[in-house]
Structure 1
């Protein structure tokens, strides 16, 4: 008999424990919905499935909200937001940027909320509130943007000088420097070059596996100039990029003709002058 009573108590304890667990879950869900959306006495509301978005500081945070007019007549809702200092927020609806929207009775409108962090925003949680206000109702939606850092890089040379000289038909080695100027690590950075016609460019190394914040890596770009290239200034555009961003550097190169080409040109001129002199002497006697 005692064993049966103990068993019944264990079963009852488990049932009570499960009921408390489900009640807690229900309470949390209910409380969460109240903090993310506000429903008016007329049934109007503004809600969003995503209320917390995490992204780098260089990206735009995008939220999709639903504005419902529960009143018996159409309402024009003015849209505004309390955002952190330096942040920029815009509302978009029906394919256009808006500051207010007319919603028919018992209808809903989809509103895109786009917010851009301030320049140099530090990694942190940034809460902000969206307002939809009409003549009869005032609705609020609490959102949060979590800045996880930024992906930024800079491509230049160690000295900062982006110009040089080269002789036609020769190769030039240019030292480039890639710097991680963001707050997150950069992975799999590749190098490429946009050169004048028939020019060639190779890199050593051709890829940077990882570059931590604040670190720099120097690499060699070997540029080959074809023979018989006319003297003058030419531009080569170097690019360092990965899936998170890119940086470019425009390098101006002044091409000079080789010494041999100069002597060949002088020789051709002398031969031409000699030939003309020969013709004058030969036919000038007649």
Structure 2
């Protein structure tokens, strides 16, 4: 009887030892972690997301705490399943669960390779390579700092203001422009004098610079600053003024009125003058006349007019045969892509000679008819 009890005790002890050994074996060997990307490249301030699968290859339910080893100083992490933060996980036999492992790289960090491990029954080594050294400052930049244009044009610069700090920052703008010049700042198409930028975010700022009317040709440097009270970021914009575009269309006589008979043609001389400081290329001449009139310029296009120079053109007009006596407006224009000059010519239409003679004949015939009738029947 005693021997039987000893045997039962030994069997019971062997069972529990085997049970715990199996659990330890399962925990150590069957619960494993998998992510397809174990080495990534990132920049300071980045948030890196690792999609992780927790696999249970055993025949029992396994539960394990989840932790991170080797996390660098000032780095942060978060383990989530959906919207829930996870610290411990249970996986059914021959099943898997999905987690997202978020790693937050600080803004102020040195360039190099960083190694850490995600542990849940097994270890998942991860390497993060930083390709640049992090900063704790503001960056003010533009892809195009030099713009060329006429003195009467607006120079538009597209810039980026990058808040590379860990706090919300309010930046005030300032532009040092030459006398008579003007500069405005825009964010989201609204004129602003300051903007608020969240940590590690970029704000797109448009800067519009308008030269003075009398600005001479040349290159102008315009310092632009964005300051938050603690530090200041600066851009040097360059505006290259090439001259102004302007032209004037006028009649050679200086008058903008004339006369014509219905159905007749008339030719008038006009002048196109370059009143700007830049060469005018491909000057187009057009006109608009009343219905059934004919209008054209000769030539209809001027290839080039230098500053201060003039070019004479001919305006060909033909009034409609059915045009009634009276005043008519003819619209004329000379234009280049940068500028347009418009004038209106008042044309007075007189009756045609045929109509005049016909009217006289009708009058004479009417007088004669009255005289004849009076002479024939007046004595009765």
Runs of 4+ in structure 1 deviating by more than 6 angstroms, as ranges, are 269-278
Report the equivalent of 2:72. none
Report the equivalent of 2:275. 181
Of 309, 313, 321, the match for 1:227: 321
Report the equivalent of 1:52. 146
For the residues of structure 1 that align with 2:143 and 2:362, how far apart are their CA atoms? 80
Distance 1:69-1:255 versus aligned 2 partners, 3 A rule: same
| Counterpart mapping for 1:267-278 below 5 A | none
Deviation per CA, 1:46-79: give whole Å up to 9, x if none.
Answer: 1112111122223211111111122322222222
For the residues of structure 1 that align with 2:357 and 2:176, how far apart are their CA atoms? 74
1:263 deviates by 4.0
1:178 deviates by 0.6
Of 185, 188, 191, the match for 1:91: 185
1:214 deviates by 1.2
Residue 180 of structure 2 aligns to a residue in which SS? Answer: coil
For the residues of structure 1 that align with 2:283 and 2:264, how far apart are their CA atoms? 28
For the residues of structure 1 that align with 2:210 and 2:359, how far apart are their CA atoms? 61
Calculate the aligned-residue CA RMSD, in Å.
2.6
For the residues of structure 1 that align with 2:369 and 2:193, how far apart are their CA atoms? 83
For the residues of structure 2 that align with 1:48 and 1:157, how far apart are their CA atoms? 48
Does 2:237 match 1:156? Answer: no
Residue 331 of structure 2 aligns to a residue in which SS? Answer: strand
Report the equivalent of 1:82. 176
Of 209, 212, 221, the match for 1:127: 221
Does 2:159 match 1:65? Answer: yes
Distance 1:272-1:132 versus aligned 2 partners, 3 A rule: farther
Residue 142 of structure 1 aligns to a residue in which SS? Answer: strand
For the residues of structure 1 that align with 2:233 and 2:355, how far apart are their CA atoms? 79
For the residues of structure 2 that align with 1:251 and 1:197, how far apart are their CA atoms? 15
- Please, which runs of 5 or more residues in structure 1 have no aligned partner? 1-40, 279-286
1:269 deviates by 7.1
TM-score, length-normalised on structure 1?
Answer: 0.75
1:277 deviates by 12
For the residues of structure 1 that align with 2:348 and 2:174, how far apart are their CA atoms? 55
> Which protein shows a greater Rg?
2
Does 2:293 match 1:206? Answer: no
Residue 358 of structure 2 aligns to a residue in which SS? Answer: helix
Deviation per CA, 1:218-239: give whole Å up to 9, x if none.
Answer: 1110111011212222111111
Distance 1:42-1:173 versus aligned 2 partners, 3 A rule: same
For the residues of structure 2 that align with 1:273 and 1:70, how far apart are their CA atoms? 102
Greater RCO (CA < 8 Å, at least 6 residues apart): 1
Report the equivalent of 1:12. none
Report the equivalent of 1:140. 234
- Please, which runs of 5 or more residues in structure 2 have no aligned partner? 1-134, 373-380
For the residues of structure 2 that align with 1:58 and 1:133, how far apart are their CA atoms? 30
Report the equivalent of 1:169. 263
Residue 122 of structure 1 aligns to a residue in which SS? Answer: coil
For the residues of structure 1 that align with 2:253 and 2:136, how far apart are their CA atoms? 67
TM-score, length-normalised on structure 2?
Answer: 0.57
1 or 2, which has the higher strand percentage? Answer: 2
